Structure 1
Amino acid sequence: MSFQTPLTICEVINDVHSKKYLLPSIQREFVWGPEQITMLFDSLMRNYPINSFLFWKVPKEKASEFKFYEFLRDYHQKDNKHNPKANISGSDDVMAVLDGQQRLTSLYIALKGTYANKIAYKKWDNPLAYPKKKLYINLLGAPEDISYKYEFEFLTESEATEQDDDHHWFPVGKILDLKELSDVMDYLITSGLAANPDKEKAQCANRTLSKLHAVIHVNRIISYYLEQSAELDKVLNIFIRVNSGGTTLSYSDLLLSFATAQWETRDAREEINEFIDEINQIGRGFNISKDIVLKACLVLCDISDISFKVDNFNRTNMLLIEKEWDNITKAIRDAVTLISSFGFSRENITSNNLMIPVAYYLKTIGLPNNFETSTSRIGDRKNIKLWFVSALLKRVFSFAPDGVLKPVREIIKTQSANGFPVDAIFAQFKGTNRALQFTDDDINNLLYSKYGHGDTLVILSILYPWADLKHNFNVDHMFPKSEFTAKKLKAKGVPDSKVDDFIANHNYIGNLQLLETIPNIEKKAMDFDAWLSQKVPAGELPDYKKKHYVPNVTLDFSSFDVFLEEREKLLIKKLETELRN
């Protein structure tokens, strides 16, 4: 391995664009966020070192023995986050990147590509939640954040047009077209920046754009070492050592790297990524990661040590996982489908480890088809849901998940002849800090869940077992939320002494119900008693009250405290029935 003559960023970006540089299958995918990219560019502009790179030159006669991927060019958090497979059928040697992929991808996206990540308040399946953005630099001033010297931002085209006296957003990628310093001067003149009456602003624009030109075209910033060995074992060892510090390589990435290198008939990277994309589309959507799928592989293949250690990612285990891959994927897919039918999704599952024992059970009993709908499996599904909900609410996977997965796997392996062994699993953890049994205090504490909290929909799924939460059910305030202001409550005749308590308690689960979308829209902010009398037919009213735990009390606003107390008694009774096996 030898140190090479450094390159300019422009030279490297052109080579990435022409696919001279590729990524070996042992590399993980792009994971940097916008903040990391902007910090990289701020560092470059400040002449801070960005560490050296490590490239691997693979002779063309050896290249076909390995798998390579192209750099990601336009990142989209939902629809385009996987690297495309590279075609290496040409006659040239392959130059692969062993260390520096995140930095090179960030440089390429910033200079030639786009970045589309989800807007925080929009739903993950909304196409408008992922606006396409490019990297811009403000030529007229410094950012408010004093940890940065230069103001880089990912902006949409419309955002970038919002210029003022303190902002001129220059698309960073345009610097590739300004090859000579004279081109920079021409841009400053034609854009009017050079003629800015504020001389300090004009000078700032000149210094900033000239500096960016030097960083991209002039300074030889990309220092790199070149490894020319074609021995995979040696390259793997170098790769692991280079990526052993910090957070540059997770265990799941390492496992996937080994699987990709050692599977014989499948492409592990493509198989696993495609499978993850598929299962995350089930029902209302999930957020299952490589970590969960790869951990499930260890569990479902009955590998004795399921911890994420390099020793467990040996060739024997990887080939076993490859052999069992079809059964593993069916088990996980069926488990996710079943959990979705219970009403769960990415929105209300706090640990995806919960799915692994369900998948292991389905694999143990022979992967029956249509498990989630078969009438012969009703009792089994009830027991699985009891365990799932109890483990979810009790947070049994909140630390050291292997301490749950291993004993539960052993119980399922030896005691599943008569169905899902929920009693044995509950007995296993009784009296420990992972106890699944619910005491009176535990059940009472569930009533303190509020609208919008993660556990609330879980609890409502227990209270409404008849509701198919895969479809359009909404969490609704029985006594409408909008009416809980001091002014409105007093206007409804609520005594001053009760107003604060009413406001404090209206968001608790005692005032929440599940309604289908259309009735929920119709209800809007109608008072609960008025809505019942106007929208629920008299003949259906007794059944409605039973299904929604409506107590036989006065339902006007002035009696909200009585309603809440009596309804909570009904909810506790139902929770005791459902959560105690």
Structure 2
Amino acid sequence: MSFQTPLTIYDAIKNISSRKYLLPAIQREFVWSEEQIERLFDSIMRGYPIGSFLFWKVSKESVKKYQFYEFICHYHQGKSHNQKAVLMGDEEIISVLDGQQRLTSLYIALKGSYASKVPYMRWNNPAAFPKKYLYLNLLKEADDEDLKYDFRFLTEEDAKKRDENTFWFKVGDILNFDPQDPSQINDFLIENQLATNKFASRTLFRLSDVIFKRTLINYYLEEDQELDKVLNIFIRVNSGGTQLSYSDLLLSIATAQWDKRDAREEIIKFVDEINNIGRGFAFNKDFVLKTCLVLCDFNDIRFKVDNFNAQNMAIIQNNWDKIKESIRTSVELINTFGFDYQTLTSNNAIIPIAYYLYKKGLNSSYVTSSNFRSEREKIKKWLHIVLLKQIFGGQSDNILRIIRDVIRDNLNGFPVDIMKQRLKGTPKSLDFGEDEIENLLEYEYGKRYTFSVLALLYPTLDYSNLFHQDHIHPRSFFTSREKLLKLGVKPEDIDFCLENYNKIPNLQLLQGNINMSKSAKPFIEWLDENYKDDIAKNQYKELHYLSGLDLSIVNFRHFFNKRKEMMKDKLMQILMF
């Protein structure tokens, strides 16, 4: 391995565009944020070092032996994956072992775009991912004291907005200028009335200089063709520090060792598949890799390089279809329980479910078959309990091994009672005390564990439908002390109302369309409008723990405390079994 003559950024971008530079299958995917790319360009403009790179020269004889991927040009946070490179094998290529994130960032900024999710918009909304390009403000330095140059990812529409301190120049347009002909930049400045602005002129010429002329890509070149050696170099370079997540490293090793399938492509595609079930989940490669270790009954299920040896990877590869079926069925099952990416507070909690299905050889029919209805209810209750007890928090390997052993030895049904007995008296106990149950009712609207508490209180709902967490007494009533006083609440109860209106005793689960119609109406008014029949009204009250309660906002404190008692009694029946 030797140090080579440095390249310009322009040369590197040309090599990526022509597919001379590619990524090996052992590389992770692109993970840099917009801010990281913006800071990279600020560093380049200020003459700061951006680190060295490590390339692998793959001979034309070796190209056909391995799988390579192209760089991402137009990044989309929700669905961007590197595409397989189709190579003829008649020429050598350069494979990037270290520096992929930086090179991809340069490529996206100069030739592509970046689409990240807008906060609070749903993942399945196309408008949540506007296409943005990297721009540089030619009129003013960055406001951030850590930065000098104001680089920002903007939509084309936002970039058109100009004032006396703002002129956004699309960074990729610098490639349209001939670096040997400075008059082109001068003409641009004149055409845009920037010729007399020294900052604009210096900034644009400096951008051209750092892209076309300065040799900033310092790299080492490895020419050995043995994958084992290259893999060892890759691990040495990427496993120390935070440059590469451990799951990415392990996926890289699996990819190098699977001979019948492409592990990287299979696992990434499968993660996308299960994340698209129902209203969406947030599973990742870590979850799939960990589940593989558990389902294949390896003694050691820690994320260690040694556990991803050739023998173990062969077992996972040979059982991959069955593993996928078990995981997919588990996700489909918990989707019917009403879970999604917001309410499933621990992905690892469904690994025991997947293990049970795997050992029993059960497929997707398990989710709907009437033969398993009672067992599904038992699993649903167990899942809510383990999430509320947070037994998979922190280092969960030990608890996963214990539960796996219990399931493996008790396959006549999902062994909830035996698990409970096995964990009794340990820090991971499934037992609830009275104080713990009372504390569950302190969870607030929209918080991580609120759904599980409400779902235990509403065991008969069909969660294949969308249910909203709804405030019985609308939260719009609790915006100020003055509003509550106008509604007739006693002055001495105001603080209590403001402190507690958002907690579970003022919440219910309502089907989405019904909740929309309820809106912010006073609860008694809404109830009378929608349930004119006394029998129906009483059934509603019974379902929602409202029987015998004063439902007027005036007596909110009494309502809250009495409903809390009813809910606590119900939870004690459910949880203290």
TM bracket, shorter-chain basis: over 0.9
1:414 to 406, 409, 412: 409
Q: Is 1:147 aligned to residue 141 of structure 2?
A: no
Match of 1:170 in 2: 169
**Aligned residue number for residue 35 of structure 1:** 35
Contact 1:301–1:321 under 8 Å retained in 2: yes
Identity %: 51
SS in 2 for 1:452: coil
**Aligned residue for 1:579?**
575
- Correspondence for 1:219 among 189, 199, 214: 214
Q: Deviations over 1:472-507 (max 9, x none)?
A: 211111111111232232222222111221122111
Residues 1:462 and 2:456 are matched in the alignment: yes
1:33-91 Cα distance to aligned partner (Å, 9 max, x none): 11111111111011111111111111111111100000011100112x21000011152
Listed one character per residue, the Cα deviations across residues 308-367 of structure 1 (whole Å, up to 9, x for unaligned) are 111111000001000000110000001111111111110112210011111001111112
Question: Which amino acid in 2 is paired with 1:185?
Answer: N
Per-residue displacement from partner, 1:99-143 (whole Å, max 9, x unpaired)? 110000000000010000111121222111111100001111111
> TM-score scaled to structure 2, two decimals?
0.97
In 2, the alpha carbon distance for the partners of 1:360 and 1:162 equals 55
Match of 2:447 among 445, 453, 465: 453
**Maintained 8 Å contact 1:20/1:95:** yes
Q: Secondary structure at the match of 1:346?
A: coil
Q: Aligned ranges for residues 341-490 of structure 1 at < 5 Å?
A: 341-417=336-412, 419-484=413-478, 485-490=480-485
Counterpart CA distance in 1 for 2:549 and 2:65 is: 76
2:537 maps to what in 1? 541
- Comparing 240-249 with 319-328, greater Cα deviation is found at 240-249
Structure 1 residue 369, shift from structure 2 partner: 4.0
Deviation string 1:166-217 (CA, Å, 9 cap, x unpaired) is 111110001111222322222111111114xxxxxx1111111111111001
State the partner residue of 1:551.
Answer: 547
> What is the alpha-carbon distance in structure 2 between the residues aligned to residue 521 and residue 30 of structure 1?
40
Partner of 1:198: none
Partner of 2:23: 23
Displacement of 1:11 = 1.0
1:104-143 equivalent positions in 2, closer than 5 A = 104-143=103-142
Shift of 1:387: 2.0
Runs of 4+ in 1 over 4 A off after TM superposition: none
Number of residue pairs the alignment of both structures matches: 573
**Separation in structure 1 between the aligned mates of residue 199 and residue 188 of structure 2, nearest angstrom:** 14
Letter in 1 for 2:419: I
Q: Could you list the per-position Cα deviations for residues 364-391 of structure 1 after superposition, in whole angstroms to 9, with x for gaps in the alignment?
A: 1112442122222122212212221111
Taking structure 1 as the reference length, the TM-score comes to: 0.97
Q: 2:325–2:364: 8 Å Cα contact kept in structure 1?
A: no
- Root mean square deviation of aligned Cα: 1.2
Q: Which amino acid aligns with 2:422?
A: Q
Q: Aligned AA for 2:59?
A: P
Map residues 46-61 of structure 1 onto 2, 5 A cutoff: 46-61=46-61
Secondary structure of 2:249's match? helix
Larger mean CA deviation between 471-480 and 444-453 belongs to 471-480
Gap runs ≥5 in structure 1: 196-201
CA distance in 2, matches of 1:567, 1:36: 50
Structure 1 Cα separation of the partners of residues 553 and 411 of structure 2: 51
Partner of 1:97: 96
3-state secondary structure, aligned to 1:454: coil
The corresponding residue for 1:281 is: 276
* Letter paired with 2:243: T
Letter in 2 for 1:349: L
1:63 corresponds in structure 2 to 63
**1:209 corresponds to:** 204
Does the residue aligned with 2:468 lie in a helix, a strand or coil? strand
**SS across alignment from 1:225:** strand
Amino acid at match of 1:479: H
Q: 1:551 touches 1:566 (CA, 8 Å); kept in 2?
A: no
Segment drifting more, 209-218 vs 483-492: 483-492
CA distance in 2, matches of 1:554, 1:547: 16
Contact 1:447/1:508 (CA < 8 Å) preserved in 2? Answer: yes
Instruction: Specify the SS of the correspondent of 2:365.
Output: coil
